[in-house]
């Protein structure tokens, strides 16, 4: 548990902690955080508002005092980018098992976003049924409290779709048992149920749909992440997403100028990434590992770049493994007909040049 997170937790409970953290708690309390109303459904999710952290904590305390009832509903602080908000603070350290994290490596490199979140919510708060962004992995560490996870292996979600093909908001809703609404529900298997205690970490593999409940007042740290073991799944997901967009607007294929470009724009607005950005993602991952392999004797230089230092820490063979997986997906992307329509030769460097450099780095490293 990081010092700042611990300070917030102690401040929440009204516990006197070491005075050295007082200023940090005050600064964190002024932070604006996203808060979802778990009692309201809006477009298959919960509507969100933004509050100062200290206002949310005041609500939480009052919610507890009133036996977990409030006219404001059950509010859940979720998807708070605490790491990004306090870059200079030593908030927490990612466990080494999850440190090969291409997703956050890339978004940190372009300084746009990240996929590290803090969740804080009272007993009874919950997250509706979903699978994680880009079909990434996720890990969730309970700082305090207890969660219940309902988890479905890939493919089981197909039995949970309604007659229109939509996934449910709440997989415990009684309506799922109505065959006229959910015709394949009877074919589904029960979910894997996990009870997560304080101090435990849950790992969710790619494509496993899940629904999560806070059984107690709970604070957790959550990351979405991709690496060499599931980047091919991410690429497959993006191809499926583009195909879905193309089906939706196929009637305008002949009349819409640059229809294929519009499909990419719509795909990015829905998923958060398009094919060109996916190429840039692969490029940055490859370049970091090529740098480490070419400069593995220069530990001081690598230490100036946190991700290159982390890659060095995982070892040269791990860097080679990453490059091999990157090369495989990049080869598939470069051969993709939809990618070819985006004039990839104008990218810097062109995909073929990057592939050549990448394979040369692998060959040299294995000599």
- pLDDT, tens digit (0-9, with 9 covering 90-100), for 160-213: 999 999 999 999 999 999 999 999 999 999 999 999 999 999 999 999 999 999
Task: Please give the helix or strand (H or E) that residue 314 lies within, else none.
Answer: helix 306-314
| 3-class secondary structure, 250 | helix
Q: What is the largest CA-CA distance in the chain?
A: 68
In DSSP terms, which residues pair with 195 in a beta bridge? 148
Kindly give the parts of the chain with pLDDT less than 50: 1-4, 6, 10, 13-23, 25, 302
- Distance (Å, whole) CA 364 – CA 70: 64
- Are 165 and 184 a contacting pair, CB within 8 Å? no
* CA separation for the pair 57, 51 (Å, rounded): 10
Report the C-alpha gap between 134 and 236 in whole angstroms.
9
d(CA 46, CA 36): 6
**Taking the CA of residue 195 as centre, how many other CA atoms within 13 Å lie in the half-sphere pointing to its CB?**
2
pLDDT of residue 23: 45
pLDDT of the residue at 275: 98
* Token pair for 160: 């949970």
| Three-class SS state of 56 | helix
pLDDT at residue 333, rounded to an integer: 98
Residue 313: predicted pLDDT: 78
At residue 117, what are phi and psi to the nearest 5 degrees? -135, 150
pLDDT of the residue at 4: 46
pLDDT tens, position by position, 78-108 = 999 999 988 888 788 899 999 999 999 999 9
Give which of 136, 130, 165 is closest to 150, Cα–Cα.
130
| Contact by Cβ (8 Å): 196, 102 | no
pLDDT score of 26: 52
Three-state DSSP class for residue 228 = coil
Helix (H) or strand (E) holding 290: helix 275-294
How far apart, in whole angstroms, are the C-alpha atoms of residue 239 and residue 275?
9
Predicted confidence at residue 18, as pLDDT, reads 35
């Amino acid at each position: 548990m990081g010092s700042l997170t611990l300070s917030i937790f102690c401040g929440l409970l009204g516990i006197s902690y070491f005075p050295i953290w007082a200023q940090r708690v005050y600064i964190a309390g002024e932070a604006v955080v996203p808060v979802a109303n778990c009692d309201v459904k809006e477009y298959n999710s919960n509507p969100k508002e933004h509050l100062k952290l200290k206002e949310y904590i005041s609500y939480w305390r009052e919610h507890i005092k009133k036996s977990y009832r409030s006219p404001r509903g059950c509010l859940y602080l979720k998807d708070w980018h605490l790491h990004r908000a306090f870059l200079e603070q030593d908030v927490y350290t990612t466990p080494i098992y999850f440190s090969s994290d291409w997703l956050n490596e890339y978004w940190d490199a372009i300084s746009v976003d990240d996929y590290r979140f803090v969740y804080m919510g009272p007993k009874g708060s919950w997250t509706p049924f979903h699978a994680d962004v880009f079909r990434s992995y996720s890990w969730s560490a309970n700082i305090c409290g207890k969660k219940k996870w309902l988890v479905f292996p890939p493919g089981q979600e197909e039995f949970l779709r309604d007659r229109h093909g939509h996934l449910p908001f709440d997989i415990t809703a009684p309506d799922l048992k109505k065959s006229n609404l959910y015709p394949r529900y009877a074919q589904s298997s029960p979910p894997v149920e996990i009870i997560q205690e304080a101090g435990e970490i849950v790992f969710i593999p790619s494509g496993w749909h899940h629904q999560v409940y806070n059984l107690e007042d709970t604070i957790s740290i959550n990351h979405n992440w991709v690496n060499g073991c599931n980047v091919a799944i991410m690429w497959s997901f993006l191809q499926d997403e583009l195909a879905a967009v193309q089906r939706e607007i196929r009637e305008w294929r002949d009349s819409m100028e640059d229809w294929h470009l519009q499909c990419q724009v719509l795909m990015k607005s829905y998923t958060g990434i398009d094919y060109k950005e996916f190429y840039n993602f692969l490029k940055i991952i490859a370049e970091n590992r090529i740098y480490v392999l070419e400069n593995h004797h220069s530990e001081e230089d690598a230490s100036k770049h946190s991700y290159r230092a982390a890659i060095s820490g995982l070892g040269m063979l791990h860097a080679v493994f990453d490059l091999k997986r990157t090369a495989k997906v990049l080869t598939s992307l470069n051969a993709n007909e939809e990618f070819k329509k985006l004039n990839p030769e104008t990218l810097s460097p062109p995909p073929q040049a990057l592939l050549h450099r990448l394979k040369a780095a692998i060959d040299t490293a294995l000599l």
